[in-house]
Amino acid sequence: MRTVVDVRNAVIHAPGGRPLFDGLNIRLGRERIALVGHNGVGKSTLLHVLAGEVEPHDGRVTVHATRHMVHQMLVAPSRSLSHGELRMRALVEAKASNAELLLLDEPTEDLDEASVSWLRAWLRDYLGCAVVCTHDRRLLRDFRHFFIATTGGCRYFEGTLDSLEAGLEHERQEAQSRYVRDLNRLVAKEQHIEHVERRRARKKRYGRCSEIDRATPRSTLNQKRDHAQVNHGRIAKIRAARLDGVRQWAKCTRQLLHTRLPLELPMPTLRADDGSDIIVLQSVSAHAGQRLLLESFDLRVGRQRIAIVGPNGAGKTTLLAIMLGHRNPTLGSAFRDSSRIGSIAQGGANWLLDDSLAALLKLGAGPEGDGDVAKLLLAHKFPLALAGRPMHSLSPGERTRAALICLFRRSPTPELLVLDEPTHGLDLVGQSAMTNALAAWPGGLIVTSHDREFLEAIKVDRVIRLER
């Protein structure tokens, strides 16, 4: 079989210089490969290298074919196009190019169900070499060859999506264990530093005795002593607090990871449903420019589980914005009881906070503190290593998961969750955790999604379909 892609001992760095792949070797003919992995491990950068848009730091990348890449981030030439319409146009151009090497970065992002079906049919019939970076389960079911990108490199996997997910779940558990081991090493290092500081303090006391022997004026000695005590006392207090916090976190996470029984996903308890409306829309109409999106739309929502579906550009996000009061309708009225609603915009865009998930959870934690937080994170399969980072620094998918955990712990607990494409940007493990959490959620739901399998799994009982 003719070689289309030949990568030899490639060293690839992120745009900021962070090492991603070292000694990478890939040889492809006319295979269809799905590229999977957590956010930030370098999947998009690898596609850019294969497309010839980025040079490897070292090694050689040779492509013996015409190539075409569809990027994850697309620039709209016109505001009249929705994100899904823009992506569909880019995919149609890719098909028309007849390129022998096809590079697609999250091609189903923002696509409606009909567009995803068209893409799957095209890729099944495609005769060239295709490398597709995706977390979409609908698309991944059509693949049998996978590249799994991790912080340690990239490896090949052959099999079904189910066997791939089992392997990724095992890797997730290993990653959690590595994180805890690193914490324990940090505790040991801090304890060593503390021991060294005590030795230094003893030496300084010996030095003070030497100064007395040299008849240094007492006022000078007292001034030096007071200054040293203030500085060392402040530093010691900061170090002790940090060490104690890390030690407690490491202890409780280690204990939980050693638990044999699966942790039960904790769910909030809601007050009795009195049947009252939480959102009411009356004769609502809305426009996007000159285009009519909604006309005389009526809706009453309590604790129902509602899915809002429809093609790209039909007005799903606009409808959510009107429900939440972020946009006024062109005509009609919209009422909501905001105290009973929790919302997450697509990619967690309304949760770009400086606080970390761990800090937000500790605000409402009980006397167990770190133990409660760690148990909650592990039950939700949320990466422990990400819990201490500011929410704004998380990937869109992980930020959405973190926001959902916060809403589950909010007091008073929201009775209705409004979620815009909650699986957007999530890897396979994250999608599974999100699905399980929403399926167990006892309150109401309003969810927009193009993924029918996801909507069935979270048990929606009503579907509102919008048409262009």
- Contact residues for 185 (Cβ-Cβ < 8 A; gap 6+): none
pLDDT band at 42 (very low <50, low <70, confident <90, very high): confident
Q: pLDDT higher for 446 or 2?
A: 446
pLDDT band at 367 (very low <50, low <70, confident <90, very high): very low
Question: What is the structure's pLDDT at 289?
Answer: 79
Tens digits of per-residue pLDDT, 91-131?
Answer: 999 999 999 999 999 999 888 888 999 999 999 999 999 99
Q: Could you give the percent of the chain with pLDDT greater than 70? A: 79
Residue from 131, 120, 126 nearest 63 by CA: 131
Radius of gyration of the chain (CA): 27
d(CA 173, CA 429): 11
d(CA 15, CA 371): 38
Question: What is the structure's pLDDT at 229?
Answer: 56
- Contact residues for 74 (Cβ-Cβ < 8 A; gap 6+): 83, 86, 87, 90
Question: What is the structure's pLDDT at 160?
Answer: 92
Distances (CA, A) of 323 to 315, 364, 406, 454: 12, 28, 21, 23
Residue from 156, 157, 102 nearest 130 by CA: 102
Helix (H, G, I), strand (E, B) or coil at 199: helix
- Indicate the DSSP class of residue 310: -
Signed CA dihedral, 212, 216, 218, 224: sign only: negative
CB 115 within 8 A of CB 313: no
Residue from 79, 52, 73, 62 nearest 25 by CA: 62
- The answer to whether the predicted template modeling score (pTM) of the entire model surpasses 0.85 is no
Distances (CA, A) of 2 to 6, 217, 396: 11, 88, 39
CB 360 within 8 A of CB 412: no
Question: What is the structure's pLDDT at 440?
Answer: 92
pLDDT band at 291 (very low <50, low <70, confident <90, very high): confident
Neighbours of 177 (CB within 10 A): 15
Question: What is the structure's pLDDT at 2?
Answer: 83
Question: What is the structure's pLDDT at 41?
Answer: 82
Question: What is the structure's pLDDT at 102?
Answer: 96
How does the average pLDDT of the chain come out, rounded? Answer: 83
Question: In the predicted model, is pLDDT for residue 81 greater than 80?
Answer: no
Ramachandran area for residue 248 (φ above 0: left; ψ -120 to 50: alpha; else beta): alpha
Question: Per mean pLDDT, which of 70-79, 250-259, 296-305, 363-372 is the most reliable?
Answer: 296-305
Token pair 């069935």: residue: 456
Backbone phi and psi for residue 426, each to the nearest 5 degrees, phi listed first: -90, 140
Question: What is the structure's pLDDT at 271?
Answer: 87
| Secondary-structure percent of the chain, ordered helix, strand, coil, rounded to 5 | 45, 25, 35
Q: How many Cα neighbours within 13 Å face the side chain of 407? A: 29
Question: What is the structure's pLDDT at 428?
Answer: 84
Backbone phi and psi for residue 68, each to the nearest 5 degrees, phi listed first: -145, 130
CB 341 within 8 A of CB 278: yes
Tens digits of per-residue pLDDT, 213-272?
Answer: 555 566 665 665 655 555 556 666 666 666 555 555 555 455 445 444 344 577 888 888
Residue from 98, 103, 143 nearest 124 by CA: 143
Residue at 422: amino acid letter: P
Backbone phi and psi for residue 438, each to the nearest 5 degrees, phi listed first: -70, -30
Question: What is the structure's pLDDT at 217?
Answer: 64
Question: What is the structure's pLDDT at 429?
Answer: 81
Token pair 């090497």: residue: 101
